[in-house]
Amino acid sequence: MSWVRTQPKAAASALRERLKQYKGKEYFPPERGGSSVVTKEGTSVVEEAIRYLDGLAPMGALASGAGALGLVLAAEDHTTDIGYTGSVSHSSSDGTCGADRALRYGKFASFGECLWYGSDKADARCIVLDLVVDDGVPSRGHRLGVCNPIYDIVGVAYGPHSTYGWIAAMEFAKDWQPNDAAIAGRKVSGPVKVPGQEEAKQAVSTQWKGLGVCKLCGEPILGGAVMDIDKLGGKVHASCFNCRSCSTALKGVPWVAHEGLPFCKDCYHKEHGDKCTACGKPITGGMLTCSLGK
C-alpha cells in the first residue's frame, strides 16, 4: 500500500500492464495460469484508476510493524470471524463495526477499513492493485481508502474465507495509540470469539446459491473457485481438486478418477494400477500379457 501512496505513477504503470490481460470484461491474472475473473466494468475502470494515479501527488508511507500490532489483531478478529461464516461484511457476526474492533486494542483520531476477497494465488501487490481498481464499487471506497492521506498507519490480516477462498482485512488509522495491556491479553487468548457465527453462516447467500455440495469434501458450495468435473460426478471446490494420496494440485496435470476420487497418475498406478508380474512395479505404459501374467 505504501508503494501506491509514495509512487503512484509506478502503480499506474503496473495497471497499464494489467490492461493487456483483459479480453472484454474477462481479466486473466498471470498467477491464475490461464483462468479468468469476470469483472463488472472491464478495462474502463482500470483506465479510470490509471488517470486517478497519474493525477495523484505522492504522500506519506503507512507505518506498520510492531507499532501496528493492535490494528493487526483487530483485522485478524474480523478475518477469523467472517472467514468462517463466509459473510461479506464490515460488520462482525454480532454486528460489531470495524472501528469498535480496533478500539479493543487502542485509540485513534481517524479510522477506516478495506476488505478484499479472492484467490490464494494473488500476492500483496495484486491485492492492492485490485483495491485501487475497485471494480464494481461505485464509490471507489477501497481506492480512496488506500490513498487517503489522513491515515499514517495500517494493520493487515489475511486468512481463508469459506465463500471466496481468502480474505484480507486492512485497518487504517491516524494517530494510533495502542493499549499495550489489551494487546498482551489478546496475544494470549487468541481471536475474539464472536457470538452469532452459526446464525451468520446459515444466513450466507451468494450468487452461487444452489450449487449443492462438493463431491469431494461434502461441504456446501457457496461460491469462490468451483470446478464441474464429470468424472467426479459434478461440482467440486477448486481447492479440493487434489490427489487423494500426495495432495498435488491436479488442475492442468494428468490425473485418473478411481471410485469417485482423483489421483495423480503416479499415485494411481502405484496404489490402484496393474503391477508387473516380473518386477512388481506399477505398469505406467504399454502392457503385455504372457504366461507370466501382466
pLDDT band of 115, cuts 50, 70, 90: very high
Q: Are residues 267 and 216 in the same domain?
A: no
Q: Are residues 38 and 83 in the same domain?
A: yes
Is pLDDT at 121 greater than 90 in this prediction? no
Contact 91, 97 (CB under 8 A): yes
Q: Are residues 177 and 67 in the same domain?
A: yes
Q: Are residues 69 and 188 in the same domain?
A: yes
What is the number of residues in the chain?
294
Average model confidence (pLDDT) across the chain: 91
Q: Are residues 199 and 225 in the same domain?
A: no
215-261 pLDDT tens trace: 999 887 776 677 889 999 988 888 889 999 999 889 888 999 999 99
Which of 180, 203, 226 is the last residue in one of the domains? Answer: 203
Q: Are residues 282 and 173 in the same domain?
A: no
- Give the per-residue pLDDT at 294: 52
The rounded percent of the chain whose pLDDT value lies above 70 is: 92
- Give the per-residue pLDDT at 37: 85
Burial class (CB in 10 A: 0-12, 13-18, 19+), 42: middle
- Give the per-residue pLDDT at 245: 93
Q: Are residues 91 and 11 in the same domain?
A: yes
Q: Measured between alpha carbons, how far is 69 from 187 in angstroms, rounded to an integer?
A: 10
3-state helix, strand, coil split of the chain in percent (to 5) is 35, 20, 45
pLDDT band of 208, cuts 50, 70, 90: low
CATH number for the domain spanning 84: value is: 3.40.33.10
Q: Are residues 121 and 231 in the same domain?
A: no
Which of 179, 203, 227 is the last residue in one of the domains? Answer: 203
Is pLDDT at 211 greater than 80 in this prediction? no
Q: Are residues 108 and 227 in the same domain?
A: no
Q: Are residues 284 and 143 in the same domain?
A: no
Q: Are residues 139 and 279 in the same domain?
A: no
Q: Are residues 176 and 260 in the same domain?
A: no
Least confident of 55-59, 62-66, 86-90, 221-225: 221-225
For the chain, what is the domain count? 3
Least confident of 8-12, 89-93, 99-103, 271-275: 271-275
Domain extent at residue 140: 2-203
Q: Pick the more confident residue, 149 or 289.
A: 149
